[in-house]
Structure 1
């Protein structure tokens, strides 16, 4: 048996990888030329290798059949799977700055070599027609029962996750997404085996076996995140922050390596972003991203440009007020891109981590959960396979969910814990504090250089309430580079035109929460209209809304418009309130200008 395993390894290495490399080379060589002759040579080479394998009798044939299957798959990948011309596809995929090639790890322009050609897929080949108008999705915000920085801790959290996957709470769910960073840490990274069905692999790490078996037992797609050690084709080991997707049989069908790292020392990132997709048996193709990736253009924008409208998103997001709390930014991103987003955040409120949801483009949050106390919560929603172009359809109210009793772990939490949410650095913001007590109607304009924010606001003043505190409000404008706490992180081009809550009329006192039990909503906002113009660059402009209980507004509570001013080479953006609001914390036009990003 050892001898036949050796034969299999040699054939995989020299036949399969050889065909794969040859195909990559020919793809670039024949980018704008007929490929008939090239494909014939590739097919002949594959037939010879497959014939050698098939000619072997007995048990060895069973061992080597997967190799033959890989060779056939690679040889038949020369034809473009749908009607998109090869020339057009190559043009899109060969420019790393604007978008790279894709699939499960393997990228057709050869940027990253896959160790398993059987799983290679292009974005274009995975797009299929959904089989039903909706699919049932779940995301789980997990408060881990232990830290995953020891072997014992990893075992405890793995059992917790397995119990969740196999829980009756997930009955009928098609796909479930779990958070980033709960299973382990970089110092307890798990080696990845060469197999894809970990449940049946005695050489696979116990964590991977148990999770694979849980997905198999539950018969649902499962998305997990962990730190993994992976060997490349030269047998060098690399540490990645990785999302792994299991299908209903517990087989690995996709892996994604986090590209935009945040303070993760010792963790590597790919040379270019993985453009990972996977297609389900209910006909929906998903893209994959992890946490900080959502702040940047790639890999998601490239996937969206190729028609991907559904994303799974494990995250360990440290909320920052008033613009970058977790659920707030998730909804803003899904709304601006008009895609479905299944976002699972780690629950650690003492360090500002909470906020998970299921979002459907312009319809906003189907389910959302934010907790200021430790809790584990399962969110389930029927997600439309065809994302609506607007929010004109019927919408149910956002559920302000409490912790699930069966899966929650509660303890007391102090006011100081709540104050640990991050806060924006307002030193480079221009602000105007609004005095509604003297004038319930406020209009004007604030500019930074040639970036201006026009506002028109009307309130009714409900007066002070004894024993309670009220927010004051300011127009807040930013047009600069945003700095992050992690000094190794790129500075982000950012533009903001906003109305935000403050506890006093000073920059240092804006974006700070008043404990919910102590707040009195003095001002009822009857009208808010914000308008701005932005230079036409590679950017994403989005509405950003937040209530004082840290939940995004319902999508039909506001109206967001973005249009192009061709003669001025600018965008015009406006955000208006559709219905009166008392619990307003943030109401903003928030733009990420990717062209201004710098190291």
Structure 2
């Protein structure tokens, strides 16, 4: 926007502040974004960072039409490098990011500033100012250091994966550097996780974390359990894994377990199984979720009930839900108008070889059976009550259909080789056949499919209150021949936790289950996210010196 237009906006601002949610109101308006980024330099020489920032402004402008107070953008979808040289690419699109205590507005930067901000950062500061909206982005950050000393790389920069929040005046009011890195070679991390919050003029304090952080106690659980934060903004570039970590599946489970308002924006790239966005209202369930098997650029807007003194006075009002999908004429990375969903999703599968499991018995005829079962694994015993129906009348010869297994697990779990954590699992998962190797896989849309098995299940898991464990209801359902698997909403299951056990059960029989498990993340016996390579080297050197000294 021109300087004149900004001056006009500043003059008119007092006249339009009534559009902002007030601290006294029981709700605010939030927006999340599913976005497929530009990854290459354009023919006219425009960088990916500038192209993505311009696209972000289109989302912000559209969100302003719905009086949005705060909008969240995905991880690693803005400041992308264009160079194929890894040394150059590491810092190419990174920017200096001001300390929030300095109240800096990057939109107002001077051209001769020796620490000039990247134009992608400055543009979005201007967008927050122009459209009077809190804007949360994920941007690569560079910090000067003394080259080749104390872990500083040869180029003289520490590089962070950083959340940045602008207020309605375009000021940087929050900065969080991702701690639990998912590999991310060339990216640094802070000495410890730094739980970071920011306050808004509509009376809500937000916490924030990024992608892989969700699987660890710090900073994610620290924010809600220790700091009492009720609303979280979360940027993610997820890589889906079945049966327990399909994008929205994880998001819904975490929001329910912590009873937080969870605003999730996902980097969309179906080729790598990346995507998944949504607005989750704690134990009220999800207002809306997005997960696509095609490139997509989707804005989701919802009224979000505030949680005040531990309670929400409003329920989810879906009449106030708004979604807008940008087409190719608006954003170049959108699919062609003629493109149709295939129903094929890329994903990893979890190694189930160390699980205790048992195939669920199904009746041979059009019948129903009811039975109890206990499975144990490394000291954890899961109790199941099952009612299994089989409708042979709807099953045609040659049709493919899901079988189901009970599973129990209590051990260190690898998170795609990028970290690990003590994890307890009790539940039911879908399989392509009778073998456990076929579990955590989806039938192909091209296959002739039947759904002859209906399940009712109730799961009981014992609790050891001496350990720091968070229990999550992890669910996934098949939602149609060309629709993404989605988590169950809260009205479809029960989840009760007391001092002795967790109990989770379906409210009615279902023929579309993919995953229905209780997962306990035991942070008292936790693993860790992958350390940067220089940290590993330092640890090894220290150990070696101790051995030699001994």
TM-score w.r.t. length of structure 2: 0.78
Contact 2:477 2:512 in 1 (8 A): yes
- Aligned length, in residue pairs: 461
- Of residues 272, 277, 281, the one that matches 1:360 is 281
* Residues 397/197 of structure 1: CA separation in 2 closer, same or farther (3 Å cut): closer
- Of residues 495, 506, 522, the one that matches 1:577 is 506
The runs of 5 or more residues in structure 2 that have no matched partner are: 1-21, 81-89, 111-115, 480-484, 529-550
Following superposition, the deviation at residue 380 of structure 1 comes to 1.0
- Of residues 213, 233, 237, the one that matches 2:157 is 237
- Of residues 173, 192, 197, the one that matches 2:96 is 192
Residue deviations 1:330-358 (CA, integer Å, cap 9, x gap): 11111111111101111111111121111
Following superposition, the deviation at residue 392 of structure 1 comes to 12
C-alpha distance in 1, partners of 2:182/2:370?
A: 42
C-alpha distance in 2, partners of 1:320/1:313?
A: 19
SS of alignment partner, residue 455 of structure 1: strand
Structure 1 runs of 4+ aligned residues shifted over 4 Å read 147-151, 232-236, 387-408, 411-415
What residue is the counterpart of 1:472 in the other structure?
403
Larger Rg: 1
Residue deviations 1:115-147 (CA, integer Å, cap 9, x gap): xxxxxxxxxxxxxx9431010000001011335
Following superposition, the deviation at residue 316 of structure 1 comes to 0.5
* Residues 382/467 of structure 1: CA separation in 2 closer, same or farther (3 Å cut): farther
Q: Which has the higher contact order (CA 8 A, sep 6+)?
A: 2
- Of residues 55, 63, 81, the one that matches 1:160 is 55
Following superposition, the deviation at residue 294 of structure 1 comes to 0.7
What residue is the counterpart of 2:352 in the other structure?
426
What residue is the counterpart of 1:177 in the other structure?
72
What residue is the counterpart of 1:225 in the other structure?
138
SS of alignment partner, residue 30 of structure 2: strand
1:497 maps to 2:426: yes
Residue deviations 1:125-179 (CA, integer Å, cap 9, x gap): xxxx943101000000101133589972222222222222222575311000000
C-alpha distance in 2, partners of 1:393/1:213?
A: 33
1:461 maps to 2:393: no
Contact 2:26 2:313 in 1 (8 A): no
Following superposition, the deviation at residue 578 of structure 1 comes to 1.2
- Greater shift after overlay, 252-261 or 366-375? 366-375
C-alpha distance in 2, partners of 1:591/1:392?
A: 30
C-alpha distance in 2, partners of 1:433/1:200?
A: 63
- Of residues 294, 299, 302, the one that matches 1:378 is 299
Contact 2:231 2:261 in 1 (8 A): yes
The CA RMSD measured in Å over matched residues stands at 2.9
The runs of 5 or more residues in structure 1 that have no matched partner are: 1-128, 566-571
Query: What are the equivalent positions in structure 2 for 1:40-439 lying under 5 Å apart?
Result: 130-147=23-40, 152-167=47-62, 171-185=66-80, 186-192=90-96, 194=98, 196-202=104-110, 203-231=116-144, 237-304=157-224, 305-386=226-307, 403-405=325-327, 409-410=334-335, 418-438=344-364
* Residues 468/165 of structure 1: CA separation in 2 closer, same or farther (3 Å cut): farther
Residue deviations 1:356-410 (CA, integer Å, cap 9, x gap): 1111111111111111221111111111111797999866689998955566712
TM-score w.r.t. length of structure 1: 0.71
1:560 maps to 2:495: yes
* Residues 394/219 of structure 1: CA separation in 2 closer, same or farther (3 Å cut): closer
Following superposition, the deviation at residue 462 of structure 1 comes to 2.6
Give the structure with the larger helix fraction.
1
SS of alignment partner, residue 190 of structure 1: coil
Following superposition, the deviation at residue 419 of structure 1 comes to 4.9
